[in-house]
Structure 1
Amino acid sequence: MLHPQQSRYYRAFLSHVAVELKRRIILSKRIKNDIEYNNVFDGKEAVDKLKEILCTTDRFLALRVGRTLEAQRFFHDVNYENRLVDNIIEIYQFNNDLIFHGYHHTDSSSSSSSSISGSIASMPTHHVNSDDEYEEEENDTHQTMLLLPHGVYTELTCCYSPTCNYLFPCYSYTCPNKERLRNRPQSVDTREKRITAYTHEIEKHQPLWSNYIDDYVLFSISALERKRQETIFELIYTEESFLKDLKYVIDMWIEPLRTNDIIPIKRRDTFINQVFSNIKEIYDISTRLTLALKERQQQHPIVLQISDIMEQFTAEFEPFVYYGARQHQAKHTYELEKYNNPRFALFAEQTERHKASRKLELNGYLTKPTTRLGRYTLLLDKICDRTEQDHPDKQHIPKIIASIKHYLQKVNNEAGRAKNKFDLQQIHANLTFKNKRDKMDLRLLDEGRCIIKQGTLRRTSGLDSTEYQVILFDHYLVTAKVKVINAIEHYNIRNRPIPIELLGVSLPSSDKSSIQRSSSTLLSTAAEKLGTHRSNTNSLSISRYSRGSTSSTESLLSSNSVKLGSPITFFHEGRMAEDAFMLYAPSEHNRRTWHDTIRKQKEAKLKGQHVFQIVKAVKDYEFFADMSIHHMVVFDDGRYYMLATESGLYIGQRKNASNVVPRKILPLEKVYQVHVLEEYSLLLVLADHILWQYPLDIVVNGRPDGSLQHFGRKVQGNVSFFHVGTCLNRILICVPKPPSVNGTEIEIYEPSMPKTEMKKKSLLSKFSIRPSLSFTNTQVNPLKPIYSPCDVWAIDTTKSMILLTTPLGMIAVDMNTKKPDRLLDPSDKHLEFITKNETSNAQMTMSPIIKRISVFQVPNGNYLICYDRYAFYIDRKGRRAEKNFKIEWEGNPTAFAYHHPYIIAFEHQFIEIRSIIDGQLKQVILGKNISCIQNGHKHKLPLIIGTMVDPLDPTYQTIFELCLIAN
């Protein structure tokens, strides 16, 4: 245990103790009387933490300091009844004003948006240390100080004698340094109540059944029956007390608000409905229940049966569920109105000071209908335990308790859903993005959306650093700076939201000397893992986190010596990997909770409902991971496939493909591309930058002597790629030449061999080659070439045009006129985000170069254009269509595939599947060294085939097909 003089705070200052308590306490979800409470802690935990903070073994001293903080409304009992009690039964929560005004200290981990503690520091690796950030830090620190308890606990002050020290205390008996010499165990009253007019009145009017009946009746029954009657009596008088509390709310709050000009008339009814809900309906139920119980009580001094009455009224408890589900919104609406409406704030203060309120605030009364349900179960359970076996109550009360517990479960579930929905609505309504490029629709109001975890993390390990609200939704992680404007929390998102499927988390060493090294290693490792080549990921900028201030509390919040928290790094496993950022959690436990929660949610998301599944396309363990597989084609109505690999050309059967071993048919090196023209019995192979043509039947069926190489005919050399497509009802083979100063010439060939007239057979069957199909008749005739003003990276064909992907965007060449033109209309302002980078001047200024563009026509006639960063629609005239639709890819796609209604982007580390209707991310498939070797576009069989490192055995790679899962 630290000596007080060695602590990083002064334990006599209540503001210092409050900050430490808030930092150290771990909030969680607890259940009391079958009612679920979020963001709470128990009394024993609070006393334990205060003992650590005060560096004492005296629990009574820690309890008294805790009650001093409680007296300044730093925290309160969840039912606003007990003072701080040193046990695990009573639970407490921090004052809502601290959260309401921006001092977030939550760490939620439930689907109902519950919050569990976390005063956490942040340290983004990208630069956020601007002057406005420091101004925000000063404002936040000042605002936090105003909300903290203040005062000096004189018993804990340091000794004022200049010669006194811890080892040699001074002469005074009350010297704090003598504390260790006189410490002795002290008992703690673990059930001390809050000394208020409210509890005083309750205790004063807590009658006993035995005080109201004659002695002869009392002595005529057994001790067990006497206890039973006392509990029944307690049930009756507490119901009366509950009824009086509800009447107070109606008479002193609802009616004055309804009749007086306190709330503007336009929203008066809405406010009353939101804050007080259906409390009058509950009041009516309680009135009738009280009358029934009193009537039964008056029939005889000994109440013979209670279960029949409770069973009748329990069936009417559904309004309690409706009320409980709206408590979170009620409290928020009440606090908001009190902040923004001075007239209402004055009314609330006067009413809470009224004698009828017994000095209990309104929130204490608003929780009573829900807590009353839990009270029923406790009392009925006691009655049942004290009832004879042959009594009717013994059989009926357990059923009543089960029914009430069912209502309580519904209250917990509905309250959780309502709170989650309300919080999502608040975030959605007050959400902004710091950077326009990060703006996106998070779809927070979608059905089923929920907050998994929410907490405050700090930018650095210093207590004065900026707080960030980190929210883990079920689909994204968001980091926001919260500002409270007119008592409403506004969320300004500082980083691009990260999809759960692509969210990476690392736990660097918390050792001060290793933070820089750990972070750099993390980012470098992440970059290598993602296959990126970013030079800026090898360094991490650690920001300044402390500055001086004048007051003692500011010294705590901004002292350079206060370095707290455990670092946690978040990073995007896709294109945004360089934006990794480090934040600080208040403890190792909190940091581990974040890590585990994210891991579980990521696993659940990846295993959730999918739209595509991976199916083996080639037998496993046939190709090592270090051997590149470049291309795959399927032919003969899908019966066979060919694989273009570094070591040659392979063929195999698709039927039962997982068991059939592919065989090598051409021993060529570096086969990059292959294409089968079945109607011409022609095989085109690009190997080592040479385009060859082979007779398909000879290559497939083989030769007795095994020599096939001399059947190949060279079409063109120095070829990087080729494309075969149909244009003007002709099959064209497009082969670009190496680029020159004047641009790129693209050779056009057309196969001319007569089509076979033979009946359709399997290509692997033995048959003789007819003279008309002889190799000498197989030709590819050159046509007039076309030209591109710059380099060509990809080619596609339409009915009348050839589309060229170039550094200047996509160029469409009309094959009727051979005239090139831009595919995108440069005059369309809605396409400026693309076309501004597709000019010669833009290329000279080192603008981002986009090398991959794919075009897919969708059923409505528009075209989906897929760039490296974006996907959007254009119409037939090249103008932007569906202007609200734009996809920004999470990764750096190397290939695209289209399977209506989904667009699929292949990246080295994952496959990104999105809807072409709204652009939403539908599925992510993770892997390593992923590549698309067949996208199925404009093929007879639209198969989507790819490769990746085998997840079960990294020595090999697996070839898979993406298959749509039938709904």
Structure 2
Amino acid sequence: MARGESRPPSFVGTPEAAVRDLSSELSDLTLDSEEGLRKFQRGEIYDDDLEWYRLVPPEARQVLSSSEVQRQSILFEIIKSEKDYVSDLETLQEVFIEPIVNTLAVPEFRVRGFIQEVFFNLDKILEHHKRMLGALFERQRDQHPLIQSLSDIILDNSLLFQDDYEDYIKHYPLAEARHRSELRRNSRYQYLLQQCSLAPRVRKRDLITFLSRPVTRLPRLLLLLENAKKYTEPDHPDMETIPLLIGILKDFIRSTQPGIAASEDKVKYWNLCESLIYQKGEIIDLDLYDESRSLRFQGPLSRRYKSNMDLHWADLHVALLDNYMLLLKPEARSSTVMKHHVVSRPIPLEYLRLGAFDGPPENRKEKAEDGSGILDRVRSRYRQMYPFTIYHASSKMSRRYTLYAGSEAARQKWYDALDEALGIRQVRQESNMLFAPHIINEGFFKHAALVAPYGLAAHYTGRVNAATELSFRKVLSVPNPTSMVALPAAGKLFVLHEDGLCSYSLDMLARAALGLIDSRKVDASRETIAGDVLFFRAGRVGNRFMVLYGQKSFLQVYLYALEVVSNADANHPRWSTSGVSSFRSFGDPLVIPKDTYNITVLSRRIVICSEKGISVADPANLSLGVKSTHLPDFSGSDLSLPMAGLKVRCAACKPLGIVRCPNSEELLVVYDELGCYMDKHGVPTRASGYLRWETKAVSYAHRGDYLMLISPEFIEVRTVHTGKLVQVLEGADMRRIDVGLLSPDKDSAQGTTLIAMRGREEQGLVADRILELVETSELRTPRVSDVPGQWEDFDIL
């Protein structure tokens, strides 16, 4: 080889020794480049000079092979890109985050949450890379211009920052969506970002570019390492470390993809939630912002409507959530904002049923959009639409929908999505029941399915009409009982049957059930309270045990109130005015509507439900009459259209009772088809909004924070405070059989709810199943509103 020609380095012995010898050989040639290296690390070199070969004397480059020159350039690029990355994260902190915190661009009460949602854990990622950049700079100062390896530094740090990167990358779509949402609606925020973009360090890049830097950094680093591997000699130590590092980064990047996809789905879901426009008046709590909510599937579908004896098509956007199905009408209000009108009441998945999905395609007539001639513009074309049917289980005909997909493949996708969503919803509901049905008795009570089969009449007891918390053994023979109530603290069992209202000794009843005494002694403890009784309620009113009953008289129905007295006081002459020694009258009887069908008690007021509406009376002073005959109070409906609309809706429904909202002075008026809120004076609240039940209730039960709406086929469990649907139980011929208790006894914190339903059928006989709905949630400490005397339930003015 001629003198003066450049030659590749000659490696003799181990590669490590060769690198040390070459570095020593180059050391004399790099004295002038030391200052350039220091300027590079301090950021004092122009961008055009930020290349490895610009910091290395030509003599140093000439002694290296072309592949080693490429390798050194790539290693320098790794350090340079790390330096730029740290600089960008610092710019993000100093130019964007700090001004947002220190100004009023985002209101003070939510700026901390905004910073957390948008910038998440960028501070932790910045600390990781400051540490790694410091180690890279130190290696560069020690070995410049011929760096032996950087892979050990990157490997050590990558094992430390993976968890924080995983959190950030999976959260990134949510951060970007939160930023864009704020940008659309907050002009102060828009102005601040415009000012931030003027900073020289930003270089006209927007905030999204900076936020996405951690998402693109690791793929960029992976690409540089793969390129470095191509130019690394086979016997170099990096040929062991770099493949290991590449594998770690690839696996990590691959593992974050599902998280990113899930976050992107969450963003789509949030955008949908923000675009919804509901019909006025109705209060709908879809529980949209629960952590577990998700958008299972969405897409365009069509419906056909009949108008003026003709059918026309309407395009819808249908969204399938994990808890509801929404039929929406899209409306583009601008080029960037899409709103969706809820055109039909959302269908809970508990009620959603699938009909036919195999119907033949139908033709949809459309105007041709192509063609230049006059005939082409008016000529119609036909597009095939593929129908499928869904319906509401409680309104099979009135809420039955035939929807049309644009292709057979789209129809099949909808079927698969619906079938999967319904299956997942059912499993989740069954494994997370708020009230679990506990079978108390099955098979003992039997009645004829249609007509009693010949020869089997002796084997059935009749349909269960009433029950209380007692064992199921026959101890009484009374004709056609319709309701019963046990008051253990008062020692009484009340039974209403065709002969009237009677009471029995609960102690005697228990002894007879255990076989300790003859059942005739139970009959001996009987006290007849009244005859011609239409209904009764018994329980605690304030500090007293009371019996309230409605008795039919000539052309009138009277409400009587009796107090249960102890055995020690039973013989007191002043307390026997009712004619029954265990009770004393409480005021004079009250005339109530003849069509009264239910009464409930809230603290010191009797709520009387009739076909004419709701009335209120004081059980201690029945002679004072009814204080208000119209609840809710719609006297202001002439001046309020929402209240006028609510008045019309309530007038068409049957009132069932009133319950108190937890931790509030509001009351929920329960009708068979809807509910509405009012204050303690009876005036509607919540802008006269209303809740609509999914099924028409026959009765209800109030259990703490929850309301059970009971119909023959379904039991809806809803929160009292918002009306949110939390559980649905399905059955046949379901009915509440423990009706009659005024309120849960104070010694039994939550009370109980007993349900009878149709069970199995054998040989023409139906066996009733008796269930207790047992609350499965954690035991709760008493609320302030549960303490007697905190506030009167209501005081109608």
What TM-score does the superposition give when structure 1 sets the normalisation length? 0.52
Given candidates 475, 490, 494, the residue that maps to 1:665 is: 475
Offset, 1:510: 2.6
CA 1:432–1:214 in 2, change beyond 3 Å: closer, same or farther?
same
CA 1:546–1:437 in 2, change beyond 3 Å: closer, same or farther?
farther
Residue 512 (str. 1) matches residue 360 (str. 2): yes
Q: Is the 8 A contact 2:446 2:461 kept in 1?
A: no
CA distance in 2, matches of 1:455, 1:557: 33
Question: Which letter does structure 1 place at the counterpart of 2:240?
Answer: K
Deviations 1:789-815 (A, max 9, x none): 451111234676543211221112353
Aligned to 1:81: none
Q: Is the 8 A contact 2:636 2:643 kept in 1?
A: no
Question: Which letter does structure 1 place at the counterpart of 2:613?
Answer: G
CA distance in 2, matches of 1:401, 1:623: 69
Q: Is the 8 A contact 2:712 2:733 kept in 1?
A: yes
Offset, 1:822: 1.7
CA distance in 1, matches of 2:431, 2:709: 20
Aligned to 2:16: none
Given candidates 702, 706, 724, the residue that maps to 1:898 is: 702
Unaligned runs of 5+ in 2: 1-59, 90-95, 97-104, 107-113, 191-206, 306-311, 451-459, 571-575, 780-797
Given candidates 240, 245, 248, the residue that maps to 1:402 is: 248
3-state SS of the aligned residue for 2:358?
A: coil
Question: Which letter does structure 1 place at the counterpart of 2:383?
Answer: V
Aligned to 1:957: 769
Offset, 1:626: 6.7
Offset, 1:421: 5.2
Given candidates 592, 600, 603, the residue that maps to 2:426 is: 603
CA distance in 2, matches of 1:231, 1:739: 110
Map 1:879-894 onto structure 2 (within 5 A). Answer: 879-880=683-684, 887-894=691-698
Given candidates 523, 530, 546, the residue that maps to 1:731 is: 546
Residue 675 (str. 1) matches residue 488 (str. 2): no
Given candidates 317, 324, 329, the residue that maps to 1:469 is: 317
CA distance in 2, matches of 1:720, 1:238: 91
Given candidates 604, 623, 626, the residue that maps to 2:445 is: 623
Unaligned runs of 5+ in 1: 1-211, 219-225, 251-256, 258-265, 345-361, 516-543, 629-643, 759-771
Deviations 1:287-309 (A, max 9, x none): 99999999999856xx8645224
CA distance in 1, matches of 2:566, 2:682: 38
Aligned to 2:330: 482
Residue 686 (str. 1) matches residue 490 (str. 2): no
Map 1:517-556 onto structure 2 (within 5 A). Answer: 545-551=364-370
Offset, 1:409: 3.9
Q: Is the 8 A contact 2:599 2:657 kept in 1?
A: no
Aligned to 1:584: 404
Question: Which letter does structure 1 place at the counterpart of 2:388?
Answer: P
CA distance in 1, matches of 2:129, 2:663: 60
3-state SS of the aligned residue for 1:897?
A: strand
Aligned to 2:341: 492
CA distance in 1, matches of 2:71, 2:240: 14
CA 1:723–1:555 in 2, change beyond 3 Å: closer, same or farther?
farther
Given candidates 606, 613, 633, the residue that maps to 2:436 is: 613
Residue 938 (str. 1) matches residue 743 (str. 2): yes
CA distance in 1, matches of 2:693, 2:347: 12
Aligned to 1:64: none
Q: Is the 8 A contact 1:320 1:370 kept in 2?
A: no
Higher strand share: 2
Offset, 1:871: 3.6
CA 1:912–1:833 in 2, change beyond 3 Å: closer, same or farther?
farther
Which segment drifts farther, 939-948 or 415-424?
A: 415-424
CA distance in 2, matches of 1:699, 1:287: 85
Q: Which has the higher contact order (CA 8 A, sep 6+)?
A: 1
Deviations 1:718-775 (A, max 9, x none): 65433335679673441242895xxx412537489972689xxxxxxxxxxxxx9xx9
Q: Is the 8 A contact 1:748 1:786 kept in 2?
A: yes
Aligned to 2:625: 819
Q: Is the 8 A contact 2:538 2:742 kept in 1?
A: no
Offset, 1:593: 2.4
Aligned to 2:720: 916
Aligned to 1:162: none
Q: Is the 8 A contact 1:809 1:838 kept in 2?
A: no
Aligned to 2:672: 868
Offset, 1:850: 0.7
Residue 563 (str. 1) matches residue 411 (str. 2): no
3-state SS of the aligned residue for 2:652?
A: coil
Deviations 1:673-731 (A, max 9, x none): 123467887654333x4425364366665575979889978766665433335679673
CA distance in 2, matches of 1:560, 1:398: 61
Aligned to 2:756: 947
Q: Is the 8 A contact 1:854 1:865 kept in 2?
A: yes
Question: Which letter does structure 1 place at the counterpart of 2:444?
Answer: E
Question: Which letter does structure 1 place at the counterpart of 2:483?
Answer: Q
3-state SS of the aligned residue for 1:578?
A: strand
CA 1:827–1:670 in 2, change beyond 3 Å: closer, same or farther?
same
Q: Is the 8 A contact 1:852 1:895 kept in 2?
A: yes
Aligned to 1:807: 611
Q: Is the 8 A contact 1:321 1:410 kept in 2?
A: no
CA distance in 2, matches of 1:926, 1:233: 72
Residue 829 (str. 1) matches residue 636 (str. 2): yes
Question: Which letter does structure 2 place at the counterpart of 1:563?
Answer: Q
Q: Is the 8 A contact 1:725 1:796 kept in 2?
A: no
CA distance in 1, matches of 2:599, 2:461: 22
Q: Is the 8 A contact 2:327 2:342 kept in 1?
A: yes
Q: Is the 8 A contact 1:805 1:851 kept in 2?
A: yes
Q: Is the 8 A contact 2:368 2:381 kept in 1?
A: no
Map 1:51-90 onto structure 2 (within 5 A). Answer: none
CA distance in 2, matches of 1:609, 1:731: 38
CA 1:604–1:961 in 2, change beyond 3 Å: closer, same or farther?
closer
CA 1:776–1:578 in 2, change beyond 3 Å: closer, same or farther?
closer
Deviations 1:170-224 (A, max 9, x none): xxxxxxxxxxxxxxxxxxxxxxxxxxxxxxxxxxxxxxxxxx9999969xxxxxx
3-state SS of the aligned residue for 1:934?
A: coil
Question: Which letter does structure 2 place at the counterpart of 1:721?
Answer: F
CA distance in 2, matches of 1:904, 1:478: 24
Offset, 1:907: 3.1
Q: Is the 8 A contact 1:733 1:748 kept in 2?
A: yes
Q: Is the 8 A contact 1:855 1:864 kept in 2?
A: yes
Deviations 1:648-683 (A, max 9, x none): 8999986xx7xxxx2222344542112346788765
Map 1:743-782 onto structure 2 (within 5 A). Answer: 744-746=556-558, 748=560, 750=562, 755=567
CA distance in 1, matches of 2:304, 2:62: 69
Offset, 1:606: 0.5
Q: Is the 8 A contact 2:281 2:689 kept in 1?
A: no
Aligned to 1:787: 591
CA 1:396–1:818 in 2, change beyond 3 Å: closer, same or farther?
same
CA 1:916–1:293 in 2, change beyond 3 Å: closer, same or farther?
same
Deviations 1:938-967 (A, max 9, x none): 242422222345699996524223235225
CA distance in 2, matches of 1:903, 1:944: 11
Aligned to 1:65: none
Aligned residues: 639
CA distance in 1, matches of 2:622, 2:770: 44
CA distance in 2, matches of 1:747, 1:667: 27
3-state SS of the aligned residue for 1:622?
A: strand
Aligned to 1:572: 392
What TM-score does the superposition give when structure 2 sets the normalisation length? 0.61
Q: Is the 8 A contact 1:651 1:663 kept in 2?
A: no
CA distance in 1, matches of 2:227, 2:549: 88
CA distance in 2, matches of 1:686, 1:335: 63
